[in-house]
A = this chain, B = another copy of it.
Amino acid sequence: MINKLVENIKKTRAPIVVGLDPMLDYVPEQVQKKAFQEYGETLEGAAEAIWQFNKAIVDQTYDLIPAVKPQIAMYEQFGIPGLGAFKKTVDYCKEKGLVVIGDVKRGDIGSTSAAYAVGHLGRIKVGGRSYVPFDEDFATVNPYLGSDGVNPFLKVCREEKKGIFVLVKTSNPSSGEFQDQLIDGKPLYELVGAKVAAWGEELMGEEYSYVGAVVGATYPEMGKVLRKIMPKAYILVPGYGAQGGKGKDLAHFFNEDGLGAIVNSSRGIIAAYKQEKYGKYGAEAFAQASRAAVEDMIADIRDAVQLG
């Protein structure tokens, strides 16, 4: 899947990923109303509303972008029906040729981590048959539990040719509380980055590894260092746009081949119609507003980064 991701990025010349993180507040009134008419003001109604919202945005943007990143928390908050909308979104995006990064930030140990890996990236046996439960292409993984938590994911990635992005330095203000703590003079995130590079060496695609990393756009200087520590890891970069990261900060995350990083924007794209800048579209044309925001984001990154 890393090969497909790189291929999609080269084809679109757009190293971006649209974060499908639908808060119900983002979903325009007319979409909510229609869903509630069909399913009532229920979890099923909310799930239908976010699924229809996603579908409209994907339909308007899939030709411009290589990948999407649905954040499972936004679906999980609507219980089982919400997770149904997550699954529908994953399947639909894959039909459209997009690479799907499940932002699930799972991480546990041994057989439990294996269960997450199977659930999100692999297949599970039931009697004599096998099923692909959620079937994302990539998943994000939390490294706090060490190699025991990551190895089961590597095993499934090897079998299924799928990938992971390991949290290294997250984009949020308090990420430094633990991640920046110095160990023998070096911050913890560098130690995690070195582990990502080591895990990834065993699992190489054509140009890049199946094992990537998450490094926030809000910490460009740290991105620069991590880029060198993990030369073959794709870096998934959250924190652009709404969280404060700018195009010019992004150059550090890319390699000289113009590859190696993919920048996420969620709210800035999917709720674009709420911004003054895209106000002319109005709530009715929310998906067109998302398309315009995608075009602007691509232009911003092409200005800032020498793409391959």
Instruction: Give the B-binding residues of A (Cβ under 8 A).
Output: 21, 23-24, 32, 36, 41-43, 45-46, 71, 73-74, 76-80, 82-84, 87, 105-113, 115-116, 118-120, 124-129, 131, 133-134, 142-149, 167, 170-179, 181-184, 188, 191-192, 195
Q: Closest chain B residue to A46 by CB distance? A: B126
Q: Which of B41, B77, B119 contacts A116 (CB 8 A)?
A: B77
Query: Contact: A73 with B115, CB < 8 Å?
Result: yes
Q: Closest chain B residue to A41 by CB distance? A: B127
Interchain residue pairs with CB less than 8 A apart (17): A41-B127, A43-B126, A71-B115, A73-B113, A74-B115, A77-B119, A78-B126, A80-B133, A105-B106, A144-B167, A144-B179, A146-B174, A146-B178, A148-B173, A178-B191, A181-B181, A182-B184
Specify which chain B residues have a CB less than 8 angstroms from the CB of A124 in the assembled complex: 43, 46, 77-78
In Å, the complex CA distance between A112 and B142 comes to: 15
Query: Contact: A126 with B42, CB < 8 Å?
Result: yes
In Å, the complex CA distance between A154 and B269 comes to: 29
- State how many copies of this chain the complex holds: 2
Query: Contact: A145 with B170, CB < 8 Å?
Result: yes
A73-B119, A105-B107 known; A41 vs B128 contact (CB < 8 Å):
yes
Specify which chain B residues have a CB less than 8 angstroms from the CB of A120 in the assembled complex: 76
Q: Which of B105, B172, B181 contacts A110 (CB 8 A)?
A: B172
Query: Contact: B188 with A172, CB < 8 Å?
Result: no
Q: Which of B128, B131, B143, B172 contacts A178 (CB 8 A)?
A: B143
Q: Closest chain B residue to A116 by CB distance? A: B73
In Å, the complex CA distance between A192 and B179 comes to: 11
Query: Contact: A43 with B142, CB < 8 Å?
Result: no
Query: Contact: B179 with A106, CB < 8 Å?
Result: no
A79-B87, A80-B87, A177-B146 known; A21 vs B188 contact (CB < 8 Å):
no
Query: Contact: B146 with A172, CB < 8 Å?
Result: yes
Q: Which of B43, B133, B176 contacts A76 (CB 8 A)?
A: B133
Specify which chain B residues have a CB less than 8 angstroms from the CB of A146 in the assembled complex: 172, 174-179
CB proximity of A147 to chain B, nearest CB, Å: 4
